[in-house]
């Protein structure tokens, strides 16, 4: 899940938001302002309900962010680098650049998220008690009570032992510890995730058919997401098993053709060296060091009358938004960070110099070669 826009960095971790957050934000604010709050405390002015609903939605997403930041901080303390955190329709996700080194680290990284949500639920519960003692406005008390309940629910739901939930990670840590096999542990957690997902789908559809309310469909949607995510996680684990021990250099396209950042878009499009072969090219600065990635689609979006004045450096994907790895980095650790699309090519950099470029098709070819070679991995395919 890629962020639509970036909010900034907290504790060195990039924080992004997907556009789908607007939907759930509006849903929460609407549900409180037009539903729960007027039902519990009627006859207030409508702006009061909406202010409370909007504030509650903002604090809820701050709670989600705290949950994911806890994962990120503990992951870094256990030697796992964090790519970013993205808030989206069904919550948030901290994307890790690699996996935990052992079941103990996996347990700590996975367990801290539900723990933070549980603590936040207790904190807001304490807030309800304090506000009640202070005879605060009843709508404020009800809003804080909702925040306490939703955080406790978040903690309990995430603790369910089913991938890709935090509880699924805890289950995987346990199975990993018991069997000593990370792949088998992942298969067990993903199987539990699919089973739990189908249970939610069935329960949600039954609830919808009986009551006709949106809540049943929402439960079914969450279940379907869990099934899809658990299946994808299982497939990725199998690929990681196949790619174990393979360095990035054995999948990359070495010494790719690069585009100087100062070249105009028109010159790039007219140059026969860049035609027909690839959909994206590394961009280099005056010293030959990589500075970004240029896609043909990005270049073609420049109007013809401006193409002779706009440089490649102005339309490229900057290096800060491009995945960069070393040639000897494990290819299996790179896999979770790769996505389809020319703009998601990975640049391979060795001591500040461009060494190669990697796409998902390069990884697929490497996997096909490894799986078809009965002798196993012996070097460069």
DSSP state of 273: G
Q: Please, what is the Cα angle at 196 between 193 and 201, to 5 degrees?
A: 120
Task: Report the C-alpha gap between 312 and 295 in whole angstroms.
Answer: 10
* Beta carbons of 366 and 243 less than 8 angstroms apart: yes
Is 34 annotated as catalytic? Answer: no
In order of 254, 291, 337, 354, 365, the CA distances from 358 in angstroms are 9, 16, 12, 12, 11
Residue 34, Cβ density class (10 Å: 0-12 exposed, 13-18 middle, ≥19 buried):
middle
Residue of 34, 39, 68, 305 marked catalytic: 68
Output the CA torsion sign for 170, 175, 181, 186: negative
What are the strands of the beta sheet with 5-10, ordered from one edge?
Answer: 5-10, 13-17, 82-88, 91-96
* Beta carbons of 230 and 246 less than 8 angstroms apart: no
* Beta carbons of 78 and 101 less than 8 angstroms apart: yes
Q: Kindly write down the DSSP assignment for every residue of 67-118, as one continuous string.
A: HHHHHHHHHHHTT--EEEEEEETTEEEEEESS--SSHHHHHHHHHHHHHHHH
Residue numbers annotated as active site: 68
């Amino acid at each position: 899940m890629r962020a639509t826009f970036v909010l900034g960095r907290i504790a060195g971790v990039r924080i992004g938001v997907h556009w789908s957050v607007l939907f759930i934000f509006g849903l929460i604010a609407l549900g409180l302002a037009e539903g729960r709050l007027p039902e519990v405390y009627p006859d207030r002015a409508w702006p009061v309900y909406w202010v409370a609903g909007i504030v509650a939605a903002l604090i809820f997403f701050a709670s989600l962010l705290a949950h994911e930041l806890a994962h990120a901080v503990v992951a870094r303390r256990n030697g796992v680098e964090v790519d970013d955190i993205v808030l989206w329709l069904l919550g948030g996700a901290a994307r890790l650049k690699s996996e935990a080194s052992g079941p103990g680290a996996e347990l700590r990284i996975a367990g801290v998220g539900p723990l933070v949500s549980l603590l936040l639920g207790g904190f807001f519960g304490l807030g309800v008690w304090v506000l009640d003692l202070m005879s605060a406005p009843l709508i404020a008390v009800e809003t804080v009570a909702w925040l306490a309940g939703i955080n406790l629910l978040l903690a309990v739901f995430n603790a369910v032992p089913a991938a890709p939930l935090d509880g699924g990670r805890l289950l995987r840590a346990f199975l990993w510890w018991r069997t000593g096999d990370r792949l088998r542990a992942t298969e067990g957690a993903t199987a539990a995730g699919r089973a739990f997902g189908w249970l939610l789908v069935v329960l949600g559809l039954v609830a919808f058919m009986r009551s006709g309310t949106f809540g049943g469909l929402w439960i079914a949607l969450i279940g379907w997401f869990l099934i899809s995510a658990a299946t994808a996680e299982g497939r990725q684990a199998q690929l990681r098993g196949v790619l174990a021990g393979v360095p990035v250099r054995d999948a990359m396209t070495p010494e790719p053709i690069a585009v100087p950042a100062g070249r105009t878009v028109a010159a790039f499009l007219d140059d026969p060296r860049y035609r027909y072969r690839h959909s994206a090219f590394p961009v280099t600065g005056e010293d030959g060091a990589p500075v970004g990635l240029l896609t043909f689609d990005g270049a073609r979006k420049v109007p013809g009358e401006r193409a002779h004045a706009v440089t490649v450096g102005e339309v490229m994907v900057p290096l800060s938004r491009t995945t960069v790895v070393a040639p000897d980095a494990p290819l299996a650790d790179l896999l979770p960070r790769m996505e389809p699309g020319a703009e998601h090519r990975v640049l391979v950099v060795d001591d500040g110099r461009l060494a190669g470029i990697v796409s998902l098709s390069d990884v697929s070819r490497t996997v096909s070669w490894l799986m078809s070679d009965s002798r196993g991995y012996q070097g460069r395919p």
